[in-house]
Amino acid sequence: MTTRVPRILALDCMGGDHGPSVIVPGAAIALERHPNLRFELHGNKTAIEAELDRVPHLAKAATIHHTDTVIGMDAKPSQALRRGKGSSMWNAIEAVKAGRADFAVSAGNTGALMVLSMMILRAIPGIDRPALAGQWPTIHRSSIVLDVGANIGATARELADFALMGAAMARAIYGIERPTVGLLNVGSEEIKGVEEVKQAHAWLKQVDLDLDYKGFVEGDQIGQGLVDVVVVEGFAGNIALKTAEGTAKQIATYLKEAMTSSLKTKLGALLAKSGFNVLKHRMDPRRVNGGTFLGLNGIVIKSHGGTDAIGFASAIEVGHGMAARDIVGQLKGDLLAFHSKLDAIEASLSKRDQTKSGTDAKSETNEKSGAAI
Amino acid sequence: MTTRVPRILALDCMGGDHGPSVIVPGAAIALERHPNLRFELHGNKTAIEAELDRVPHLAKAATIHHTDTVIGMDAKPSQALRRGKGSSMWNAIEAVKAGRADFAVSAGNTGALMVLSMMILRAIPGIDRPALAGQWPTIHRSSIVLDVGANIGATARELADFALMGAAMARAIYGIERPTVGLLNVGSEEIKGVEEVKQAHAWLKQVDLDLDYKGFVEGDQIGQGLVDVVVVEGFAGNIALKTAEGTAKQIATYLKEAMTSSLKTKLGALLAKSGFNVLKHRMDPRRVNGGTFLGLNGIVIKSHGGTDAIGFASAIEVGHGMAARDIVGQLKGDLLAFHSKLDAIEASLSKRDQTKSGTDAKSETNEKSGAAI
């Protein structure tokens, strides 16, 4: 696969819990990694300059694009659409649209970033609804899970597209040429699984794609890192993500209570401090940072809102990897080819069915493919 | 609410990873709690007798119902249906159906237990698809989550029924008169939520029920014990449950690695042993044990397959609480009353719509109620 060197990135400096005080030093770290990278810094000039003063090497590589308009962390997407024009978030995305920037990064409000990205960049041909792809920390490294909440429900085609798009992202950010992909499902045979999931499964098994399709995975296998990419529709995906976060917090609460339950446990915890630091590091949400909306005409990365400079630099790294691999151009070609293969399969099945019986060929086809698994 | 004292319970002694060696001592613990309880022990006579020899007080309170047929832990539900007749699981459920036993408990295969329970006991009037209700450990106590995988998808009525049924279970096993109930949803406004969830939300807000409806909850709030009962359709519910289990295992792996990373951490962990024991206890899956299929003409409790005698006794306690509260009789009345209220609401909305326009009144009504939230 060809790579190219991203030259310019656009940063929404006002997003996140800490604004420029995290984003500017985050950009400085990214510049150390990629000395030829140039930065468009969108937001309040005074606030950005105050931060740039501390990182003179970045000051030389950056241009400030002033705006007073900021989308609040609790703004509703509808408000962002109505009042977001000219905001730091809007302008950063616009820089991608205009072709000035290779990618944009924001730690702002997810909903606002999603609707603005969709409106400004639009979906690529063949994609109706882009997916929100998140990184999920696993005992190995991390996996990509999509959709974690851009849309409720997904057709079989959309699920299959998610597989393709997630694999492209895994190639770009993990450097794996044939990423492993699994479809999230409920395990036991008594639960039949949804028709869409079954149909997507049949297609992913049948069509030769640039990925290693591993079949169904269950909720408890995500954190085990069983596959590089986990595909699921957005309702269950968002619930799974939130549930995992909640469980981690719950256990952290238990652990804290347990370690402060007596003088002896407190002493033991003190002695084992380096171990707890290792644990803290592995559970650190900054460690894997950078989600994205796959299926758009451009790269926009969503950073955690509460992250620090190191975490923000990780989000920049994700965007850099995706831009270097020209993920948008790749996906356009791959999706077109995939969809024409699917159309061919459907047409041939439909033809076979029409020969057999004249009635309701399409729905019969679907049932059959589902049952054939 | 009236209570009655359960007299007889039927045990599938061959289910679970350990069979009679866990189930018989588990029953002995239950007998100590409820000295007037009597036990039907279904399974291999020789194996059961060998265990009964060690607990003579139980031997006096139990009758053995021999069978050589056993449903394996990995049997498919379809196999259980075809070949399960006369098995220890089947006979235990049959004892409930025949009215000999007040409830049945099995640590056997979930899928088999579900299909056999449905076939033998049948759903109560007004319920098409019973729900699998599980107990979810929270930082407070535990919550009931349903459906965790009996069915894929749920209509708005089914979700509302789950709320009612889950609340009845919470009353029975936690002794809370007005349990708090939440509907699991994806949080942010940008994600609109499914129509069924919205409609169920509108109904639960509108209809006066014997529960405290708290509105939507998100995945990360389950483990916080925000509500006593969490309602969700079975696909997302099963994925949430499995994801929580997986995350707990993942963090346990991290913790183990962290505490064995150096001599110092090992010493610290040794010193803090009592704390780790507290943690282990709180994360112990045996601590909350006992799921059930709500909406059937009888009480069948599913115990974890890998549990020990203490855990199995907890599952018996769940069934005992539900039988004491006559949950089946209660639900029959409550569901009937609830459904007629819903019918009245729908009829009045439909009438209003027909007055306004003659076309497609029903679907318009649904849309409106959804949008009114």
Three-class secondary structure of residue B138 per DSSP = coil
Judged against a pLDDT cut of 90, whether residue B259 lies above it is answered with no
Q: Which residue has the higher pLDDT, B5 or A371?
A: B5
The CATH number for B24's domain is 3.40.718.10
Answer yes or no: is pLDDT of A232 > 80. Answer: yes
CB B194 within 8 A of CB A149: no
From the list A114, A219, A273, the residue facing B246 with the nearest CB is: A219
**Judgement on whether residues A248 and A210 belong to the same structural domain of the protein:** yes
**Residue A274: which of B224, B250, B265 has the nearest Cβ?**
B265
Report CA B46 to chain centroid distance, whole Å. 32
Mean pLDDT value across chain B: 89
Please check the confidence at residue B25 and state whether its pLDDT lies above 90: yes
Put simply, the answer to whether B76 touches A189 (Cβ < 8 Å) is: yes
Q: Cβ B255–A255 below 8 Å, yes or no?
A: yes
Query: Are the C-beta atoms of A239 and B184 separated by less than 8 Å?
Result: yes
Strand-strand pairing, B142-146 and B229-231: parallel
pLDDT of A281: 81
A141 Cβ under 8 Å from any chain B Cβ = no
pLDDT tens for each residue of A173-207: 999 999 999 999 987 554 566 889 999 999 999 99
B53 domain-assigned: yes
If you measure CA to CA, which chain B residue comes closest to A136? B247
Region of B322 on the Ramachandran plot (φ > 0 left; ψ -120 to 50 alpha; else beta): alpha
Give pLDDT, residue A357.
56
Mean pLDDT of A365-370: 34
Using CA coordinates, name the residue in chain B closest to A75.
B189
Q: How much is the average pLDDT of A276-303?
A: 88
Let me know whether A20 and A149 are in one domain: no
- Phi first, then psi: what are they for A63, rounded to 5°? -120, 140
The secondary structure of residue A260, as a DSSP letter, is T
Is B348 part of the contact surface with chain A (CB cutoff 8 Å)?
A: no
pLDDT score recorded for residue B356: 61
Q: Is the backbone peptide bond immediately before A147 cis, with ω within 30 degrees of 0?
A: yes
Instruction: Please write the tens of the pLDDT for every residue from A298-344.
Output: 999 999 998 999 999 999 999 999 999 999 999 999 999 999 999 98
Q: Does residue B261 lie in a domain region?
A: no
Q: What is the DSSP string of A280-311?
A: HHHT-TTTS--EEEETBSS-EEEPPTT--HHH
Q: Is residue B44 part of a domain?
A: yes
Rounded distance between C-alpha atoms, residue B218 and residue B236, angstroms: 12
Tokens matching residue B168: 């009845």
Q: Which tokens go with A97?
A: 């649209």
| Shortest alpha-carbon distance between residue B338 and chain A (Å) | 28
- Cβ–Cβ below 8 Å for A271 and B275: no
The better pLDDT of the pair B368, A209 is held by A209
**Average pLDDT score over chain A:** 89
Q: What is the torsional sign of CA A194, B331, B115, B119?
A: negative
- Confidence grade of residue B361 (pLDDT, cut at 50, 70, 90): very low
Q: Residue B320's closest CA among B126, B39, B65, B64?
A: B39
Model confidence at A366, in pLDDT bands (50, 70, 90)? very low
Is B268 inside a domain boundary? no
Q: Does B256 touch chain A (CB under 8 A)?
A: no
Residue A356 pLDDT: 61
A273 and A213 share a domain? Answer: yes
Average pLDDT over residues B324-334: 93
Residue B34 has pLDDT above 80, yes or no: yes
> How far apart (Å, rounded) are the C-alpha atoms in residues A39 and A20?
13
Dist CA A343 CA A349 (whole Å): 10
A139 and A81, same structural domain? no
Express each pLDDT in B113-166 by its tens digit.
Answer: 999 999 999 999 999 889 999 999 898 889 999 999 888 889 999 999 999 999
What residues of B are in contact with residue A246 (Cβ under 8 Å)? 219-224, 244
B230 Cα to chain A: minimum distance (Å): 12
Contact list in B for residue A187 (CB cut-off 8 A) is: 238, 242
Residue with tokens 């894929």: B152
Q: What's the rounded mean pLDDT across residues B37-61? A: 96
Query: Which residues of B, range 153-212, sit inside 8 Å of A by Cβ?
Result: 153, 184, 186-194
Q: Residue range B287-295: average pLDDT?
A: 90
Give chain A positions within 8 Å (CB) of B182. none
Residue type at position B74: D
Looking at the structure of chain B, the number of domains it has is: 1
| A 14-53 residues inside an 8 A Cβ radius of B | none
User: A124 is written with which tokens?
Assistant: 């690529």
In a domain, B19, yes or no: yes
pLDDT of the residue at B2? 63
Are A27 and A156 contained in the same domain? Answer: no
Distance from CA of A4 to the nearest CA of B (A): 34
pLDDT at A253 over 70: yes
Domain that holds residue B65: 1-122+296-325
A370 in B contact zone (CB under 8 Å): no
pLDDT band at A139 (very low <50, low <70, confident <90, very high): confident
Let me know: does B247 contact B136? Beta carbons within 8 Å: no
Mean pLDDT, residues A65-81 taken together: 91
Which one-letter DSSP state was computed for residue B65? E
pLDDT band at B96, cuts 50/70/90?
very high
CB contact under 8 A, A278 and B261: yes
For A201-225, what is each residue's pLDDT tens digit? 999 999 989 999 999 999 999 999 9
C-alpha B49/C-alpha A104 separation (Å) is 71
Q: Does B147 sit behind a cis peptide bond, omega within 30 degrees of 0 on the bond before it?
A: yes
Alpha helices in chain A (DSSP H): 20-33, 45-52, 56-61, 77-83, 88-97, 110-121, 156-174, 195-206, 219-222, 234-259, 263-271, 273-282, 309-324, 327-356, 361-371
Co-location of A154 and A176 in the same domain = yes
Contact B370/A at CB under 8 A: no
pTM score, two decimals? 0.87
**Nearest-neighbour CA in chain A from B60: distance (Å):** 38
Would the CA dihedral through A331, A337, A342, A347 be positive or negative? positive
More confident residue, A104 or A153: A104
**Residue A264 and residue A352 in one domain:** yes
Per-residue pLDDT band at B94 (split at 50, 70, 90): very high
B305 contact A CB<8A: no
Do A172 and A258 fall into the same domain?
Answer: yes
| pLDDT value at residue A360 | 45
Whose CA is closest to A241, among A111, A121, A134, A102? Answer: A134
Please tell me whether residues A370 and A238 are part of one structural domain: yes
Residues in B closer than 8 angstroms to A223, CB to CB, are 243, 246-247, 249-250
**Cβ contact (<8 Å) for B240 and A235?**
no
pLDDT of the residue at A371: 29
ipTM of this complex prediction, to 2 decimal places: 0.84
CA distance A72 to B190: 15
A74 shares contact with chain B (CB less than 8 Å): no
Q: For A260-272, what is each residue's pLDDT tens digit?
A: 888 888 888 888 8
pLDDT at B370 over 50: no
